[in-house]
Amino acid sequence: MVAQFLSQTDYAEHQHVSKQMVTHWKKKGLVSFGVNGLVNVQATDKRLRDYYGPVTRTRNGVTRSL
């Protein structure tokens, strides 16, 4: 699989969160960056799953662990 890279703003959209949340994750060391300075989507998604566990989103925006 070829790694996909996004800007922090685009990654926030990918995760349906604010850019401030991505900055929070970055400070916690949960965001993986490529040599190009962009977010490595697959690696960061895995880090977040490992840290928070599986999460589902409902239509009204409520999240819950599986």
pTM: 0.79
pLDDT tier for residue 62 given thresholds of 50, 70 and 90: low
Summarised one tens digit per residue, pLDDT across range 14-56 is: 998 999 999 999 999 999 999 999 999 999 999 999 998 877 6
39 vs 43: CA distance, rounded Å? 9
DSSP E strands in 1-66: the ranges are 5-6, 39-40, 55-57, 63-65
Annotated domain spans of the chain: 5-65
- Segment (H or E) for 25: helix 19-27
pLDDT tier for residue 66 given thresholds of 50, 70 and 90: very low
